[in-house]
């Protein structure tokens, strides 16, 4: 009885949107899969939104045979091919119908892994043909969709494409928390600091670039979306760390920038082999490491709820 109560109290992540960022190949998708599994073990309903407009590995990493149809198709296709979904830089207005419940979404637009993780894909640029335009409309889907369901709300983990482009398009504004994955490179350390700074600026009320927008209504929308940003903060996770020396080096470089990572996932040969073969991620020795990261997320959210 008491145990149930504890689990109930700890489910502060239900209904939250957590975006995972980092430089190319840092381990974003790996971290998303490992976080999703841990959250499932804690009794959460979990949705992964694959918002990487290029890579196609997520279904395999979750043990899902067939990728679901993409949400960009569900919402009517990209504007560059005559569809209705626009790029958020040219048109910051919200995507109509973006808040939907899983029960009303046709089943071909999501898939479920054996361990009960729901996967949705925002869109892929590779199937749009040469000269398809830019992937901005896919970022708009990622920015705006809010997945609901009957009963307790799912945690949504958003796996973004590498780098800052989607952040600059405003995807951070609709997240509750951002996780930045830092692999053992100086570029990843720099990116973590930049992301922290970007989120601090949004929270301080810095508005987006709008000089290119001609209509005052669009400028107003862009400012409104940034002005009402939900993002609370950034958590940093080290990944693919081979030895203590490397971990210590990364920690000291981050400390110089006032950053303390919430956890580390060490390098595991099985993880690399899983990605090599397109098989479900096997990471037998990461349970405790991943659990510490989810604890940090829960603590961050619970502290925020209390204040």
Ligand X SMILES: Nc1ncnc2c1ncn2[C@@H]1O[C@H](COP(=O)(O)OP(=O)(O)OP(=O)(O)O)[C@@H](O)[C@H]1O
The DSSP code sequence of 194-254 is: HHHHHHHHHHTTPPPP-TT--SHHHHHHHHHHHHT----EEEEEEEEE-SHHHHHHHHHHH
Give me the phi and psi of 136, to 5 degrees please: -50, -45
Shortest Å, Cβ 248 to ligand X: 17
Interface region with ligand X, contact rule CB under 6 A, candidates 6-14, 22-30, 140-148, 246-254: 22-30
Which residue in this structure is represented by tokens 């890579």?
A: 55
Nearer to ligand X among residue 10 and residue 190 (C-beta): 190
- One of 7, 8, 25, 108 touching ligand X (CB under 6 A): 25
The 43-82 site mask, x for binding Mg ion (CB under 5 A), equals ------------x---------------------------
Assess 28 for contact with Mg ion (CB under 5 A): yes
Q: Which is nearer to Mg ion, 56 or 98 (CB)?
A: 56
Structural tokens at position 35: 């976080």
Among candidates 170, 121, 147, 157, which has minimal Cα distance to 235? 157
Are residues 120 and 68 in contact, defined by beta-carbon separation less than 8 angstroms? yes
Pick the binder of ligand X from 118, 128, 173, 240 (CB under 6 A): 240
Tokens representing 79 are 């504007």
Closest separation in Å from C-beta 159 to Mg ion: 6
Rule CB under 6 A: say whether 27 interacts with ligand X: yes
Report the C-alpha gap between 94 and 97 in whole angstroms.
9
Q: Is 68 in the site for ligand X (CB under 6 A)?
A: no
In the complex, the residues that contact ligand X under the rule CB under 6 A are: 22, 24-30, 52, 55, 162, 239-240, 265, 267-268, 271-272, 275
């Amino acid at each position: 009885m008491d145990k149930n109560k504890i689990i109930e109290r700890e489910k502060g992540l239900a209904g939250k949107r957590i975006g995972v960022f980092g430089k190319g190949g840092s381990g974003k998708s790996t971290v998303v899969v490992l976080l999703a599994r841990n959250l499932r073990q804690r009794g959460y309903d979990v949705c992964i939104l694959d918002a990487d407009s290029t890579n196609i590995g997520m279904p395999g990493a979750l043990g899902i045979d067939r990728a679901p149809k993409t949400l960009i198709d569900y919402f009517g296709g990209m504007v560059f091919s005559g569809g209705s979904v626009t790029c958020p830089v040219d048109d910051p207005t919200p995507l109509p119908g973006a808040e939907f419940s899983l029960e009303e979404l046709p089943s071909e637009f999501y898939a479920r892994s054996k361990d009960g993780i729901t996967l949705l894909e925002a869109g892929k640029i590779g199937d749009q043909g040469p000269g398809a335009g830019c992937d901005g409309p896919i970022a708009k889907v990622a920015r705006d969709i809010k997945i609901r369901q009957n009963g307790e709300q799912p945690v949504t983990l958003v796996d973004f494409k590498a780098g800052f482009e989607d952040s600059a398009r405003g995807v951070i504004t609709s997240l509750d928390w951002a996780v930045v994955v830092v692999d053992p490179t100086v570029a990843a350390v720099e990116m973590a600091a930049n992301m922290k700074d970007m989120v601090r600026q949004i929270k301080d009320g810095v508005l987006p670039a709008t000089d290119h927008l001609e209509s005052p209504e669009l400028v107003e929308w862009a400012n409104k979306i940034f002005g009402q940003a939900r993002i609370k903060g950034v958590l940093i996770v080290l990944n693919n760390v081979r030895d203590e020396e490397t971990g210590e080096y990364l920690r000291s470089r981050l400390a110089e920038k006032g950053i303390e990572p919430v956890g580390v996932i060490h390098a595991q040969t099985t993880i690399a082999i899983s990605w090599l073969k397109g098989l479900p991620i096997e990471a037998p020795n990461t349970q405790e490491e991943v659990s510490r990261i989810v604890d940090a997320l829960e603590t961050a959210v619970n502290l925020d709820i209390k204040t």
